[in-house]
Amino acid sequence: MTAALPTPGTTPEAAPGTTPATAPAPDPAPDRPTPLDTWVARVPALREFGYWMRRYRRIWRGSVVISVVNPLLFLAALGGGLGKLVDAHHSGHLAGTPYLDFLAPGLLAASAMQNAFVEGAFPVFQSARAQGNYPAAAATAMRPGDILAGHLLFVVFRILTSGALFLAVTVAFGVTGPGRALLTLGPVLLTGTAFAMPLVAWSITVERPSRINGVYRFVLMPLYMFSGTFFPASQLPGALRTVAACTPLYQGVELTRHTALGTAGTAASAVHTGYLLTLTLTGIVLARRGYTRRLHR
């Protein structure tokens, strides 16, 4: 009968010198720890990352299709179709850049923002609820910071993989070469994290899901439309132009576009990078505080 159940004893992480209630039955662990086992034991964040990857395994095919088909449709319709019209009128604002080349990096940056929202807002809210993953993980040897780090790792993974697929499409359309595309992955990641980290920090405090929808409609959509994604922000009237230039998506679009097209200036790139990095780090600091407050309250 006792064989049916592990006897209470010490886990690998238990403090030394404590005696278990029953005689410790040495665990018949026939296999040596794999390298993955060792990493998981050493870096707790990998355990949470593993959880999200396990969930993702069920839907990865669909997500890959979406990540490829979406840019394909947008670039074909807007870049190809609408672009012909734009290019025929020789817009001075584009400075001779074909519309497709202008549009593709803008869309890429905007899709990084969207991925940040999709992975960083609702899943965090959902996980923090009473029946969610976070309370389960928080009851174990994990710290709130480990849970946060693991989930952020997964968000970064999603931003990077989606961005890479998008870039593959832009390479196929001849917008960029493969080398420059690889370089552009940096700005894409930075744009994504500049949105993801603050969104995660905010979502852990959210009590009602309707707020998340509100942010999508009233913050993300206007950004999407007016941050130089579809047309140069310089076309906006004076005051709006200044507002647009201050938004994180504008900064991300500019950095991504100039990197992809090879027109990046050092000073401007440094400003964009600094801006996005500040948002990312601020988000992480706030999220750490928010996770501890929420999961250990």
The site for another protein (CB under 8 A) is made up of 1-15, 18-23, 27-31, 33-34, 36-37, 40-41, 44, 47-48, 50-51, 54-55, 58, 130-133, 135-143, 295-297
Residue 55 or 93 with smaller CB distance to another protein: 55
CB of residue 60 vs another protein: minimum separation in angstroms? Answer: 14
First to last CA, the chain: 39
CB atoms within 10 A of CB 119: 25
Least distance between another protein and beta carbon 286 (Å)? 18
Q: Which is nearer to another protein, 34 or 266 (CB)?
A: 34
The minimum distance between CB 62 and another protein, in angstroms, equals 14
Choice between 62 and 179, CB closer to another protein: 62
Q: Which residues neighbour 103 within 8 Å (Cβ) at sequence distance 6 or greater?
A: 74, 75, 78, 79, 83, 229, 230
Residue among 66 and 136 whose Cβ is closer to another protein: 136
Least gap, CB of 257 to another protein (angstroms): 38
CB of residue 256 to another protein, shortest distance in Å: 34
Q: Which is nearer to another protein, 50 or 98 (CB)?
A: 50
Tell me whether residue 75 or residue 204 sits nearer to another protein (CB atom): 204
Residue with structure tokens 């132009």?
Answer: 241
Give the nearest distance from C-beta 70 to another protein in angstroms: 24
